[in-house]
Amino acid sequence: MTPGEPGRQPATTRTGTRAPVAGEPPSTPEESAFAPDESAFAPDRAPAARGTWSSLRPLLLRVHFYAGILIGPFILVAALTGLVYTATPQLESVLYQHELTVTPNGAPDSLASQIAAARRAVPDGTLESVSPAPGRTDSTRVVFSTPALPADYSRTVFVDPYDHKVLGTLTTYGQWLPVRAWLDSLHRTLHLGEFGRNYSEIAASWLWVEVLGGLALWIGAPRNRRRLRRALLPGGGAKGRRRTMSWHGAVGLWVSIGLLGLSATGLTWSAHAGANIGAIKDSLGGSTPAVTTSLPAQGGGSSGTEAGKTGATDKAGKDVGYDAVVAAAHDAGLRGLLVITPPADAGTAYVVKENTRSWPERQDSVAVDPATGKVTDEVRFADFPLLAKLTRWGIDAHMGLLFGLANQIALALLAIGLIAMILWGYRMWWLRRPTRSDGFALGRPPARGAWRRTPGGVLAPAVVVVAVVGYYLPLLGLPLLVFLAVDLAAGAVRRRRAGAPA
């Protein structure tokens, strides 16, 4: 057995390894626990007494193999679309240079005049937010909702801050420009709407299983010499399937941490698991804090919502305007890209949020009383719960925003590594196929019945843990349940056929 090869070869494989012949008596007492069809090509023939790992390894190998074969396409599509997504900032700067950049020309106009110009460009729009130009060569963004647009999409007007000339109007998804919105939707849903989210959730739910399982198999693979080198570096003189496995394992080892991060952050976005993760995060006190937009009471004595209403009523009609609100936010220490949301109704405040999503992140926010221009509430990123900070950093790293170009390159390398690993995995499967039989044949899977080698004391807690995780990650649990049902049915049919009289 080649070091690092986690499975026995089939009888006549492309690599030429000799394996047991059907009907051959089992070589160890343990094999008698398996039907002939199940004992053949068993991935590990070590006696169970060798320990928990040797008993678990065949089971893990089987899970890794089948998840790779069946879930691999989902992960491959996510990796391919993710790879394209990494180039988004460069695409945006090329495609939308006219809207995004301006030539500095003296002092900027007031925000009020810029917003007025934007309103004329989208007369039927309702103002959602304003982002003043963060730099001297940046344009101002004024975002409107319009009745004709689908949910979460807006019309964003780009205004030259120096002459309040409208540079262009684009349909945006949140803050994302059309090309990023399109690629984002491709990566998340394949443009199939809510139903399409299931594809990326399946990929995210299973990626970490494949990575952790693969890591355990690779690190725990039997190697007689040069263990570290063979684990860390591909090649090593191996040929054929062993060489492919060497690349699959070694590259997998290097990219594993990044892939685990992508899987975890991807799950936080998902529809089903994301809701569960959000609930767990909230119960642990890790929810992202937000400023209170209700205006404070005037004159004391009342509190809560009623106070807010009273305060608003007293000052109804007064509004200091966007320029004063931005000035108040600057006074409160907010810098960089700001997003100003107008009051939702007469009883609420403006909200100004920092939205710098590169390191060091700036995510402070303040509420500003429209009547007085004074800050009524503030939330500092430094005071966020650790879980909320980790979520923010994780999401922005996943999107390639946190560390700029280096982040994009790292993500692209991860995507390429993942694509290569999936293709190597399929190649290994292909190389396992019988070559002496006539016609088309698939590579043989790891032997059935691997669980029979695992002691109940190990299997029982593992099953319970998988059940709990499968509940919280339903697109891990449900496909696993379906696979188990199909596998059990297939096993029953095979046993019945084997037991049927000739």
Residue with smaller CB distance to another protein, 32 or 435 = 32
Task: Mark the segment that binds another protein (CB under 8 A) among 230-238, 259-267, 413-421, 446-454.
Answer: 446-454
Any residues with CB less than 8 A from the CB of 461 and at least 6 apart, and which? none
Q: Which residue has the tokens 């096993």?
A: 491
| Binds another protein by CB under 8 A, chosen from 7, 20, 108, 474 | 474
> Site mask, another protein, residues 261-280, x = CB under 8 A?
------------------x-
The least CB distance from residue 279 to another protein, in Å, is 5
Interactions with another protein, residue window 2-61 (CB under 8 A): 30, 32-33, 35
Residue with smaller CB distance to another protein, 22 or 151 = 22
Task: Mark the segment that binds another protein (CB under 8 A) among 15-23, 79-87, 98-106, 448-456.
Answer: 448-456
Residue with smaller CB distance to another protein, 33 or 297 = 33
Say if CB 108 and CB 145 are below 8 A apart: no
The least CB distance from residue 220 to another protein, in Å, is 22
Residue with smaller CB distance to another protein, 10 or 446 = 446
Q: How far apart are CA 456 and CA 336, in angstroms?
A: 58
| Identity of residue 412 | A
Residue with smaller CB distance to another protein, 235 or 455 = 455
| Binds another protein by CB under 8 A, chosen from 269, 393, 426, 451 | 451
Q: How far apart are CA 389 and CA 69, in angstroms?
A: 36
Sheet containing strand 375-379, edge to edge, reads: 166-173, 153-159, 140-145, 126-131, 338-341, 350-354, 365-368, 375-379
Across 447-457, b (16+ Cβ under 10 Å) vs e yields bbbbebbbeee
**Cα angle vertex 152, ends 146, 153, to 5°?**
50
| Identity of residue 358 | S
The least CB distance from residue 452 to another protein, in Å, is 4
Residue with smaller CB distance to another protein, 299 or 456 = 456
Nearest CA to 443 among 69, 73, 74? Answer: 69
Tell me: does residue 464 bind another protein (CB under 8 A).
yes
Write the DSSP assignment of 81-120 as a string of letters: HHHHHTTHHHHHHHHTHHHHB----SSPPPHHHHHHHHHH
The least CB distance from residue 89 to another protein, in Å, is 38
Nearest CA to 135 among 356, 331, 405? Answer: 356
Residue with smaller CB distance to another protein, 136 or 495 = 495
Q: How far apart are CA 181 and CA 92, in angstroms?
A: 11
Tell me: does residue 499 bind another protein (CB under 8 A).
yes
193-219 vs 52-85: helix axis angle to the nearest 10?
Answer: 140
The least CB distance from residue 290 to another protein, in Å, is 20
Task: Mark the segment that binds another protein (CB under 8 A) among 75-83, 158-166, 237-245, 457-465.
Answer: 457-465
Q: How far apart are CA 15 and CA 308, in angstroms?
A: 77
Tell me: does residue 454 bind another protein (CB under 8 A).
yes
Nearest CA to 414 among 64, 78, 79? Answer: 79
Tell me: does residue 408 bind another protein (CB under 8 A).
no
Nearest CA to 83 among 401, 414, 395? Answer: 414
| Binds another protein by CB under 8 A, chosen from 52, 333, 455, 489 | 455
Task: Mark the segment that binds another protein (CB under 8 A) among 99-107, 147-155, 351-359, 456-464.
Answer: 456-464
The least CB distance from residue 52 to another protein, in Å, is 13
Supply the DSSP symbol for 434: B
- Main-chain phi, psi angles of 98, to 5 degrees: -60, -40
| Binds another protein by CB under 8 A, chosen from 386, 463, 486, 493 | 463
| Binds another protein by CB under 8 A, chosen from 97, 103, 224, 283 | 283
The least CB distance from residue 381 to another protein, in Å, is 27
Token readout for 313 is: 């009523």
Task: Mark the segment that binds another protein (CB under 8 A) among 67-75, 223-231, 418-426, 460-468.
Answer: 460-468
Residue with smaller CB distance to another protein, 457 or 501 = 457
Q: Which helix (H) or strand (E) holds 354?
A: strand 350-354
Interactions with another protein, residue window 220-259 (CB under 8 A): none
The least CB distance from residue 498 to another protein, in Å, is 11
Residue with smaller CB distance to another protein, 442 or 464 = 464
| Binds another protein by CB under 8 A, chosen from 21, 290, 442, 460 | 460
Q: Which helix (H) or strand (E) holds 140?
A: strand 140-145
Nearest CA to 67 among 432, 425, 318? Answer: 425
Tell me: does residue 456 bind another protein (CB under 8 A).
yes
> Site mask, another protein, residues 305-344, x = CB under 8 A?
----------------------------------------
Supply the DSSP symbol for 418: H
The least CB distance from residue 445 to another protein, in Å, is 19
Q: Using CB under 8 A, list all residues that contact another protein.
A: 30, 32-33, 35, 279, 283, 451-457, 459-461, 463-464, 471, 474, 499
